[in-house]
């Protein structure tokens, strides 16, 4: 059965709620309205108010309450209306949830869902890809699925995970991506990258919506005789270093691509690890492609110029292929 | 200050002077202009695809920014919410600039960097909306602190919805402002919904104003669809704040006569609420009052409307001529240059 990315996440949450009565949802406008992006549509009717909790506008209360409920044996799935507003619950996430296991060996099995990303003309406050705020915080798992299949499998893993997971859903993918999902109950492991496309001449390491930009370029380059391998990280922390290094050792050339802005972006970490651990295999510099270091602009021509796209990637791919 | 009290004031007596007739004409113009500009934005330009992204309007709530905005001094500082377009118009921004802003053009207030109501102009005393609800409250407290520090008798006015009052920033900002006795007027548009969330899921008290006593802050509740009532409450609040007595909260009871944003059909709102509140339209009520008091004849009111429509036509035409930002300027403005 074909399902969109949004439907896949919805199914994943639904199945977990059916499976485990301790799973419940908490967030703004998730009940009657079904969430700003309709991920939780129909859940209030099916699971009732006890398990689908509409909250006041209070991100710190949402995250804090999720943490507290998790101590008592529940498995909260919290929704941020936009990833941008996760900042309002930031302290609870980075200073408490992330450190509980380390400080006093307390598991915090919460999922914080965060609709992220640009390309929807949301402007600076409704477009951010702010995963680096959390990858810098030990103790959090940061997951960003690109495909519907992974989105479903990973949300299920996230809900079953005993550590706090920040689950980024790309808004531009919600209704754009449609694919066949495996039958029945399946999960996709957190911390495991996926070879989205096999190739031998160059590796593009990427995640979230940029997987499709990489795919577009890989198809174009195939016609020019350059075979590109795409590593879809799916999880940033904990990082599947092995899959990255194996691919790089095979292709010897690598570009790291992400939608978040360049400086302090996770691409820097990947590039550094590759040069540290696979330097001898490299036939060229490790390149990064990311958005420029500005807020996400609103006006369509500016936003287009801002977002990494096939054209920008192609330029660097050709350059590196020639290198 | 004496023990905090909750005053419920509803202004009912008819002001009669020529001054009031004059004020009523101003109210009518700005409320009508806000309505017209937002109708064009939400019902024309958005649907035509000329505006992309989010569109939030204040249909049915025009009396709040207009009644209070005209009570503010021109050199007071304003922190509008996303449903207070009239504050921008009162401060002299043109409908053309507003349309250009919404269409992502260079002649908008943000040169295309921001969209819709996310705009400000410090020279006009308008601080940009902060998208995170209630984040404006501590910032407005800071502006008020500066005014006090500088020995000015100006005040800060901060606008927000019922939903925003749930956030920690709201409480932190107000607590700070009351402790410091800052010259701050807090204007709540209680339109009974925050996106799809009704008041009953937003707060356990009946009114936002019920929270004020906890901060030892005076508060009053007004009919937010009565522009004179809002105006007079705003004058009382401003006098209080200007006199150095600290923050003052006005809760304006109103209703959002639209979805949360243009993409939201608001199916979760009972139809009868829309019907009920349609009969309380602040513009229609003002027009009726003007006619009844002999402040304006029907023809004059109609002429005001026609003038506003012509103004909007011309403004859209102007805004559509405005260029899009040049992508080569993408990196500009991150820092001072
Ligand atoms: C901190 C934060 N969380 C969520 C949102 C998304 N959001 C935008 S407006 C809104 C509802 C605001 O309701 P209210 O404060 O009552 O103002 P109204 O829109 O009714 O005027 C929400 C939830 C936000 N802007 N900021």
ipTM of this predicted complex? 0.95
In angstroms, the Cα distances linking A6 to A25, A28, A38 are: 16, 17, 8
> To the nearest whole angstrom, how far is the Cα of A300 from the nearest Cα of chain B?
7
pLDDT in tens, A181-217: 999 999 999 999 999 999 999 999 999 999 999 999 9
Domain limits of chain A?
2-180, 194-322
Distance CA A157, CA B137 (A): 39
Q: Is A306 exposed, middle or buried (0-12, 13-18, 19+ CB in 10 A)?
A: buried
Structure tokens given for A205: 């390491």
Q: What is the pLDDT of residue B8?
A: 52
Highest CATH level, class, for A2-180:
alpha beta
Residue B221 maps to a domain: yes
* A32/B169 Cβ within 8 A: no
Ligand 1 contact, B258 CB (< 6 A): no
**How many alpha carbons lie under 13 Å from residue A26 in its C-beta half-sphere?**
27
Residue A156 scores a pLDDT above 60: yes
Residue B25 scores a pLDDT above 60: yes
Residue B337 scores a pLDDT above 90: no
Q: Which residue among B113, B195, B326 places its CB closest to the CB of A29? A: B195
Distance CA B194, CA B264 (A): 12
> What is the rounded radius of gyration, in angstroms, for the C-alpha atoms of chain B?
19
Fold of A194-322: Rossmann fold (3.40.50)
Q: Which residues of B touch A28 (CB under 8 A)?
A: 194-195, 197
Q: Please state the rounded mean pLDDT for residues A212-234.
A: 98
**How many alpha carbons lie under 13 Å from residue A168 in its C-beta half-sphere?**
35
H/E stretch holding B157: strand B156-161
Find all residues with CB under 8 Å of A259, minimum gap 6, and list them. Answer: A117, A118, A129, A208, A209, A210, A290, A291, A307, A308
Distance CA A215, CA A193 (A): 16
Residue B47 maps to a domain: no
> Does A194-322 match A2-180 at the fold level?
yes
Can you give the residue range of the structural domain that contains B141?
Answer: 53-321
- In terms of Cα–Cα distance, which of B39, B42, B91, B53 is closest to B69? B91
Residue B332 maps to a domain: no
pLDDT in tens, B162-207: 999 999 999 999 999 999 999 999 999 999 999 999 999 999 999 9
Q: Which residue among B167, B196, B331 places its CB closest to the CB of A292? A: B331
Q: Tell me which residues of chain A, numbers 288 to 307, contact chain B at a CB-CB cutoff of 8 Å.
A: 292-295, 297-302, 304-306
Nearest alpha carbon, ligand 1 atom 25? B132
Count of domains observed in chain B: 1
- The C-alpha angle B172, B178, B184, rounded to 5 degrees, equals 95
CATH number at residue B98: 3.40.50.970
Mutate to test the pocket of ligand 1, among B65, B118, B133 (most ligand atoms within 8 A of CB): B133
User: How high is the mean pLDDT of chain B?
Assistant: 95
């Amino acid at each position: 059965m074909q399902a969109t990315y949004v439907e896949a996440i919805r199914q994943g949450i639904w199945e977990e709620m059916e499976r485990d009565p301790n799973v419940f949802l908490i967030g703004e406008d998730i009940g009657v309205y079904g969430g700003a992006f309709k991920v939780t549509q129909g859940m209030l009717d099916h699971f009732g108010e006890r398990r689908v909790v509409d909250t006041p506008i209070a991100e710190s209360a949402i995250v804090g309450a999720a943490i507290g409920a998790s101590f008592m044996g529940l498995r909260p799935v919290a929704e941020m209306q936009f990833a941008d507003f996760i900042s309002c619950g930031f302290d609870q996430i980075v200073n408490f949830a992330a450190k509980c296991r380390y400080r006093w060996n307390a598991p915090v099995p919460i999922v914080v869902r965060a609709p992220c990303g640009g390309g929807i003309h949301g402007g600076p406050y409704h477009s951010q890809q702010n995963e680096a705020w959390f990858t810098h915080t030990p103790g959090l798992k940061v997951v960003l699925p690109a495909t519907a299949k992974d989105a479903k499998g990973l949300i299920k893993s996230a809900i079953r995970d005993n550590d706090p997971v920040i689950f980024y859903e790309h808004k531009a993918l919600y209704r754009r991506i449609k694919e066949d999902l495996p039958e029945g109950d399946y999960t996709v492991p957190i911390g495991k990258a996926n070879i989205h496309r096999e190739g031998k001449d160059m590796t593009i390491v990427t995640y979230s919506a940029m997987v499709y930009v990489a795919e577009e370029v890989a198809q174009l380059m195939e016609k020019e005789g350059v075979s590109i391998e795409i590593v879809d990280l799916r999880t940033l922390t904990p990082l599947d270093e092995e899959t990255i290094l194996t691919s790089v050792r095979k292709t010897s050339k690598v570009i790291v691509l992400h939608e978040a802005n360049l400086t302090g972006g996770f691409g820097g970490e990947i590039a550094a690890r590759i040069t540290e651990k696979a330097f001898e295999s490299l036939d060229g510099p490790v390149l990064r492609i990311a958005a420029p270091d500005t807020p996400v602009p609103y006006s369509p021509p500016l936003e287009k110029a801002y977002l990494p796209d096939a054209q920008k990637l192609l330029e660097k791919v050709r350059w590196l292929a020639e290198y | 200050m004496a023990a905090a009290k909750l005053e419920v004031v509803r202004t009912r007596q008819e002001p009669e002077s020529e001054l009031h007739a004059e004020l009523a004409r101003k109210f009518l113009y700005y409320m009508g202009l806000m309505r017209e500009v937002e109708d064009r934005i939400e019902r024309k330009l958005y649907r035509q695809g000329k505006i992309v992204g989010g569109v939030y309007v204040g249909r049915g709530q025009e009396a709040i920014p207009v009644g209070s905005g005209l009570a503010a001094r021109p050199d007071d500082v304003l922190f509008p919410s996303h449903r207070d377009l009239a504050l921008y118009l009162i401060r002299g921004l043109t409908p053309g600039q507003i349309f250009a802003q919404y269409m992502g053009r260079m002649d908008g207030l943000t040169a295309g960097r921001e969209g819709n109501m996310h705009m400000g102009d410090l020279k006009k005393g308008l601080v940009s909306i902060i998208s995170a609800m209630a984040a404006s409250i501590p910032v407005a407290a800071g502006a008020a602190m500066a005014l006090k520090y500088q020995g000015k008798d100006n005040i800060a006015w901060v606008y927000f919805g019922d939903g925003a009052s749930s956030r920690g920033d709201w409480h932190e900002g107000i607590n700070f402002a009351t402790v410091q006795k800052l010259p701050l007027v807090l204007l709540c548009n209680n339109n009974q919904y925050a996106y799809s969330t009704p008041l009953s899921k937003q707060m356990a008290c009946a009114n936002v104003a019920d929270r004020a006593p906890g901060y030892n802050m005076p508060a009053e509740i007004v009919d937010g669809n009565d522009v004179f009532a809002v105006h007079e409450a705003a004058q009382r609040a401003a006098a209080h704040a200007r006199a150095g007595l600290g923050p003052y909260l006005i809760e304006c009871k109103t209703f959002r006569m639209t979805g949360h944003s243009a993409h939201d059909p608001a199916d979760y709102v009972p139809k009868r609420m829309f019907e009920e509140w349609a009969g309380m339209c602040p513009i229609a009520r003002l027009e009726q009052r003007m006619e009844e008091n002999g402040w304006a004849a029907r023809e004059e009111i109609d002429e005001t409307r026609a003038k506003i429509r012509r103004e909007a036509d011309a403004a859209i035409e102007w805004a559509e001529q405005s260029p899009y930002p040049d992508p080569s300027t993408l990196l500009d403005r991150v820092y001072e240059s």
